């Protein structure tokens, strides 16, 4: 038996960066007080979601890993509280910018700096203007409390992300997120679809999964976004163990037995029965290489 308590958080963000950091710290402390050992904060919580529109002024917010205020702050907090914290931030690397995630171990050390692989481009989600596609590949790290694999937001819609992480040994999947309304399709509410997609990743790979999303109404220029929260923790058969509402700041926790999850996965034989040589179509965007075209 190897029990671990996971936490997801959600909050709204303003342009008062110090207040955002302080409120995020408060959520982390609340989760740690509830016994959580691995705690997930949402995507780019240092500021509002500045990708609603394209605006050159926001390029200047990017910081190197070493100079990131939010990474340094939560590195010290992880060490103080003895918790694992994946921390999302806007990274500058030379002349390039990434949507990045520093995975901080319970001793405060940065285990890896993951750069978001899949970059969306849609009205209200103008990320290709701000970020280059990540070059790190999917990464799994051995933390004090288990092997953690992370993606960031749009990554979570791709089954290849989750499968790649679990094939590399991930025992826990974590996805910090910023998702809500669609400015050009105000009638569309993707919250249920969003959740079911990741529940499927948990079920198909038989690992617990944590997703943290922001809440609140944000405006940039002429574009408005309403983020729908509904952060959740899924068990290793995809069941919802804990979830938050659409509108309010929240901390949720759930405990899982990683040894039981590993045994369950082994018993099903999902990874034993894989046929990688039959998946050639996945290696090409058009899926045609397997047919010799």
List active site positions: 43, 116, 153
**b/e 125-147 (16+ beta carbons within 10 angstroms → b):** bbbeebbbebeeebbbbebebbb
Distance of alpha carbon 44 from alpha carbon 59, whole angstroms:
14
| Three-class SS state of 193 | helix
Cα dihedral value 123, 125, 128, 134, nearest 10: -150
Distance of alpha carbon 69 from alpha carbon 81, whole angstroms:
18
The structure tokens 């399709």 sit at 185
DSSP 184: T
Tokens for 149?
């694999």
Please enumerate in sequence order all residues whose Cβ is within 8 A of that of 96, keeping only pairs 6 or more positions apart, or say none.
132
User: Of 23, 148, 26, which is closest to residue 84 (Cα–Cα)?
Assistant: 148
* Helix, strand, coil abundance in the chain, percent, nearest 5: 30, 30, 40
């Amino acid at each position: 038996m190897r029990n671990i308590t996971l936490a997801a958080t959600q909050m709204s963000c303003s342009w008062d960066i110090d207040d955002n950091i302080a409120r995020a710290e408060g959520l982390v402390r609340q989760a740690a007080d509830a016994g959580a050992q691995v705690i997930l904060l949402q995507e780019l919580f240092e500021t509002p979601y500045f990708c609603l529109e394209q605006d050159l002024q926001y390029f200047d917010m990017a910081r190197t890993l070493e100079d990131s205020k939010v990474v340094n702050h939560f590195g010290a907090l992880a060490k103080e509280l003895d918790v694992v914290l994946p921390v999302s931030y806007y990274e500058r690397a030379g002349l390039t910018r990434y949507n990045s995630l520093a995975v901080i171990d319970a001793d405060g050390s940065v285990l890896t700096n993951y750069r978001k692989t899949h970059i969306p481009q849609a009205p209200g989600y103008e990320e290709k203007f701000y970020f280059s596609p990540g070059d790190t590949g999917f990464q799994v790290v051995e933390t004090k409390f288990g092997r953690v694999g992370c993606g960031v937001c749009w990554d979570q819609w791709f089954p290849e992300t989750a499968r790649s992480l679990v094939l590399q040994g991930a025992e826990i999947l974590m996805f910090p997120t910023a998702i809500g309304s669609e400015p050009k399709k105000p009638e569309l509410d993707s919250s249920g679809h969003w959740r079911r997609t990741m529940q499927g990743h948990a079920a198909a790979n038989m690992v617990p999964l944590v997703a943290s999303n922001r809440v609140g109404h944000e405006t940039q220029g002429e574009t408005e976004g309403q983020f729908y929260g509904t952060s959740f923790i899924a068990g290793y058969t995809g069941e919802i163990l804990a979830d938050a509402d659409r509108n309010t700041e929240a901390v949720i926790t759930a405990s899982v037995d990683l040894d039981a999850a590993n045994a369950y996965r082994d018993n099903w034989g999902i990874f034993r029965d894989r046929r990688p040589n039959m998946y050639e179509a996945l290696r090409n965007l058009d899926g045609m290489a397997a047919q010799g075209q």
